[in-house]
Amino acid sequence: MDRLDQLESQSIFIFREAFNRIENIAMLWSLGKDSNVMIWLARKAFFGHVPFPVMHVDTEKKFPEMYDFRDRYAAEWNLNFIRELCPPIEEIDDTLPPAARSAARKTAGLKKAIEKYKFNALFAGIRRDEEATRAKERVFSPR
């Protein structure tokens, strides 16, 4: 078993354990490379079926082709798909710099969705090498 096989096996184990131990868990789907890999792994972990909701917190700023991809595979893979919109930028603190304001908009949308659906945990595909705040975390982030 090579290193990639080991990582895949560990990921599948984590999916199964989290699903069996945590009630009302969901997966975030940003439509990016990391979350697409996460869905592929979840499907593999559960023999082609993702047994928890998959949620896109939508900024409505993606390319049309990304939305086409999302809608096609949500249907093809029979996902329990949830789409929640981020609040309008006008509702976000206008004293923030543009990038921080955009990030705050996504965070506000995510918080609203978590509250609405009462999720206790979320799967998210965030690579440690691309996100400094995750660099020391191995699997679980208690946020």
Dmax over Cα atoms in the chain, in whole Å?
52
Residue 97 lies in a domain: no
Q: What is the CATH number of the domain that holds 57?
A: 3.40.50.620
Residue 83's pLDDT is: 98
Tell me the three-class secondary structure of the chain, residue by residue. Answer: CCHHHHHHHHHHHHHHHHHHHCCCEEEECCCCHHHHHHHHHHHHHCCCCCCCCEEEEECCCCCHHHHHHHHHHHHHCCCCEEEEECCCHHHCCCCCCHHHHHHHHHHHHHHHHHHHHCCCEEECCCCCCCCHHHCCCCCCCCC
How many domains does the chain fold into? Answer: 1
With respect to residue 54, please indicate whether it lies within any of the assigned structural domains: yes
- The answer on pLDDT for 77 being more than 90 is yes
CA 35 to centroid of chain Cα atoms: 6
Phi-psi region of 129 (alpha: psi -120 to 50; beta: other; left: phi over 0): alpha
Could you give the C-alpha distances from 69 to 25, 32, 63, 105, 137, in angstroms and in order? Answer: 24, 11, 10, 23, 31
Tell me the whole-structure pTM to 2 decimals.
0.88
135: in domain:
no
Q: What is the mean pLDDT of residues 90-96?
A: 93
Answer whether residue 11 is part of any domain: yes
- pLDDT interval class at 125 (50, 70, 90): confident
Tens of pLDDT, residues 11-66: 999 999 999 999 999 999 999 999 999 999 999 999 999 999 999 999 999 999 99
**Domain presence at residue 39:** yes
Domain with 33, as residue range(s), is 3-86+119-124
Domain presence at residue 107:
no
| Residue 131 covered by a domain | no
- Residue 81's pLDDT is 98
Please report whether residue 100 resides in a domain: no
